Chain A
Amino acid sequence: MKAKVYVTLKPSVLDPQGKAIQHSVESIGFSQIEEVRQGKFFEIALDSSISEVEAKNITERIAKEVLANPVIEDYRVEVEK
């Protein structure tokens, strides 16, 4: 069982790294870019004996308590077999 966690900055939080990336992207000619926001992506391998619901619950807790800081970040969890 594999879980994926996406951690992104809350919309209200400025992302100067995303801005710098956007400028680089624009400098090589991609003028259609409106915004780049940088985030984090985690892949978590889980014991195959647990159910999908259990895997989702565990991963949600890991995301909330460790991977994301709820003061500045949001997270999204996906579980796949």
Chain B
Amino acid sequence: MKFGVIVFPGSNCDHDAYHVVSKHVGQPVEFIWHKETDLSDFDALIVPGGFSYGDYLRCGALAKFSPVMQSVKNFAAEGKFVFGICNGFQILCEAGLLDGALLRNRDLHFICDHVNLRVETNESPYTTELETGRVLSIPIAHAEGNYVCDDETFDKLEANKQIIFRYCDENGVVNDKSNPNGARSNIAGICNETRNVLGMMPHPERACEELLGSNDGIDVFKSLTKAITANMEE
């Protein structure tokens, strides 16, 4: 099993993701420079957070033209796992691998805070080690995390259980008060129809050690590792 962490100019959570996979998940992991096109060595890709291309034009808009992205699309089409975190989520939306878009936060501020997330379903390769309804404490750090999509897309996401995480309060109640950025229906993370591509604004890789205030994020990586193992045995 091998994880790859894609590095764009301006990525800055690449080392955090690498650290978690190597130290806490205990699996081989390599950085992949965005000019690479051969991804045949990898079983899962992490598109990390940061400010790819300085957020020029729109967050993630220029990263989608990096040479690696065509290979990422093919990789995802083969059913392999692509996990976008924060700017990675924005990139996957811009690249058309996930539905919708991420806009400027409702109150225009950059928000750096621990938030509560409700696991909307454990029926995804990223949440099998979690219970549906469990509340996770995971940090967010973004200015453009306001998830938007049209009604038709939203209905599809709901019907297919593609909404994986929602912002909630500490008791798991999803309401406007617990919505940090104005995201539609408190959406914090979604997957694609085939469930192998996940994007989320919060940073589970920053919540894998008690020392950092929470280790709730590690179960996301454990779930993914289990899914990769199952994929390899097929």
Chain A residues near B (Cβ < 8 Å): 12-14, 16-17, 20, 66-67, 69, 71-72
Contact = CB atoms under 8 A, between A and B. Distances in A.
A14 B103 CA distance: 9
B61 A71 contact: no
A29 B149 CA distance: 36
Interface stretch (B3-11, B104-112, B170-178, B208-216): B104-112
Counting chain B residues whose Cβ lies within 8 A of the other chain, the interface size class is 10 to 19
Given A16-B105, A71-B101, 6 more contacts: A14-B103, A14-B182, A16-B108, A16-B182, A66-B57, A72-B101
Contact of A20 (B93, B101, B108): B108
Contacts of B61: 66, 69
Given A69-B58, A72-B101, A17 B108 contact: yes
Nearest to A12: B150
Given A72-B101, A72-B148, A67 B107 contact: no
Nearest to B99: A71
A61 to B, nearest CB: 14
Interface string B88-118: 0000011000001101111110000000000
B151 to A, nearest CB: 9
Given A71-B100, A71-B101, A16 B148 contact: no
B12 to A, nearest CB: 23
